[in-house]
Amino acid sequence: MREIVIIGGGYAGFYTAWGLEKKLRSGEARVTVIDPRPYMTYQPFLPEVTAGSVEARHAAVSLRRHLRTTRLIAGTVVEVRHADRRLTVRPVNGADHELRYDLLVVTAGAVTRTFPIPGLSGQAIGLKHVEEAVAIRDRLMTAFDQAASLPPGPERRKLLTVTFVGGGFSGVEGFGELLSLATAMLKSYPELSADDLSFHLVEARGRILPEVGDAPGAWVVRSLERRGAHVHLNTQLLSAVDGHVVLSSGEEFDSELIVWTAGNASNPVVHNHTDLPVDERGLLVVRPDLRVGTESEPVPDAWAAGDDAAVPDLAVHTPGARTVPNAQHAVRQGRLLAKNIAASLHGGKVRDYRHGSLGVVATLGLGRGIFQYKRLVIKGFPAWLMHRGYHVLAVPSWERKVRVLTVWLTAALFGRDLVSLASVQHPRDAFVTGGNPRPSVLDDASAGA
């Protein structure tokens, strides 16, 4: 029996395994997915998780529940030796061990790209996983509770200052949703006012949302500024030591919550620990049919898709163009990957990946959004509805669709659930301290970051 190993259980890996379960004959091959997390994160929902519009568990799709015949290994691949058809797995618990395979699929996904900025590693948090989205929401709500008990001044101002670094989709959507949450929370805190809030979006380029046109991007900036946000374009973060933000524009301020969404980097195992061919960006060289290699030098028994693969974009007719690393491409590449692998095993014909964009849609907070398809641009509430409609259809499984819809309908009737559970990050505190006070969650989180 052939051994098919898939590195990574994200979009592309999940849909590849899901498709192979349906297309492989019984006893033909065993599919193994290696990932440290037992679920696939539906990342487009993370901004709404930060705002409490989507329950955290509903943005995670259980691998074991939906991949019924696939073997799942909780761990990380630390080295690939494709010439020997071997890889090294580092399990969540236990010692490293080798795993042999016949066919390899690399869908490891990208990691958050960071820079050696003073204070960044000790203060900032990313927005790539469910845990991070939950922590961002809880830290904001805890900051509100603490600020409400303080008089106006620098300490209160710092607690209610939020900084997002990165103006791509993840940063803008997370920023807009968290701003929407903070504005809504003011109704429950008579001690605070809109003047106490200070939200900053920092982007190194001269515009945000590069996937949309210049005019729609400028409209988003104006929309955020009308809501009281500060958008810093052509600006870089120089320092964040102890939460003191220093920008290249010369501006300085204290910020309790700093969220880093400034792009992705290739997975270290792909970039540094494999004998598979990579390009100058550290991405796997991939042919249009998703085989690793080039037309003249294909790599046998190796396939790749998703954020770590430089997949040729045949839809734009531009030499050297590569598909954008987003969920829309990763899902469709994963589905095609399953079909092509099955076809290659059965002696059938494999197909090239060619997918025209369905447009881009982003949420900017409750009831606000933007959609663009070529020259068609829709703004405001209709675009927000389109965002929700598209993603409830796109999230895998009817079970998840129903759960998400139920939460949205409940929120429409009763409003947001404004309960912070930041204490779950330290669940033993009450037991260990016997009820004695301890440092605040925010102080402790900063010290342990």
Q: Rounded mean pLDDT of 325-354?
A: 93
> What's residue 442's pLDDT?
57
**Alpha carbons 326 and 360: distance in angstroms, whole number:** 11
Give the amino acid at 311: V
Q: Which of 205, 194, 192 is nearest to 229 (CA)?
A: 194
Q: Rounded mean pLDDT of 326-346?
A: 93
> What's residue 438's pLDDT?
60
In contact, 56 and 48? CB cutoff 8 Å: no
pLDDT at 195 over 90: yes
pLDDT tens profile 374-416: 889 999 999 999 999 988 888 888 888 898 988 888 888 877 7
> What's residue 114's pLDDT?
84
pLDDT band at 264 (very low <50, low <70, confident <90, very high): confident
Count the Cβ atoms, other than its own, within 10 Å of residue 85: 18
User: Pick the residue with more confidence: 418 or 237?
Assistant: 237
Q: What percent of the chain has pLDDT over 90?
A: 69
Torsion of CA 227, 229, 233, 236, to 10 degrees: -160
Give the amino acid at 47: P
> What's residue 243's pLDDT?
95
Q: How far is CA 82 from CA 30, 270, 277, 303, in A?
A: 18, 12, 11, 11
pLDDT at 146 over 60: yes
**Alpha carbons 198 and 22: distance in angstroms, whole number:** 51
Which residues make Cβ contacts (< 8 Å) with residue 420, sequence separation at least 6? 137, 138, 141, 142, 145
Pairing assessment for the beta strands 360-365 and 368-373 based on DSSP bridges: antiparallel
Q: Rounded mean pLDDT of 200-218?
A: 93
pLDDT at 204 over 70: yes
> What's residue 447's pLDDT?
45
In contact, 384 and 363? CB cutoff 8 Å: yes
> What's residue 439's pLDDT?
57
pLDDT tens profile 115-139: 899 999 899 999 999 999 999 999 9
User: Pick the residue with more confidence: 371 or 355?
Assistant: 371
In contact, 241 and 124? CB cutoff 8 Å: no
Which of 63-67, 226-230, 245-249, 431-435 is predicted with the least confidence, judged by mean pLDDT? 431-435
pLDDT band at 448 (very low <50, low <70, confident <90, very high): very low
> What's residue 355's pLDDT?
85
> What's residue 437's pLDDT?
58
User: Pick the residue with more confidence: 267 or 192?
Assistant: 192
**Alpha carbons 193 and 197: distance in angstroms, whole number:** 7
Which residues make Cβ contacts (< 8 Å) with residue 57, sequence separation at least 6? 130
> What's residue 27's pLDDT?
87
pLDDT tens profile 52-90: 888 888 999 999 999 999 999 999 999 999 999 999 999
pLDDT band at 449 (very low <50, low <70, confident <90, very high): very low
> What's residue 23's pLDDT?
94
Q: Rounded mean pLDDT of 212-237?
A: 95
In contact, 200 and 229? CB cutoff 8 Å: yes
pLDDT at 242 over 80: yes
pLDDT band at 443 (very low <50, low <70, confident <90, very high): low
pLDDT tens profile 285-302: 999 999 999 988 899 999
Which of 75-79, 131-135, 164-168, 439-443 is predicted with the least confidence, judged by mean pLDDT? 439-443
pLDDT band at 315 (very low <50, low <70, confident <90, very high): confident
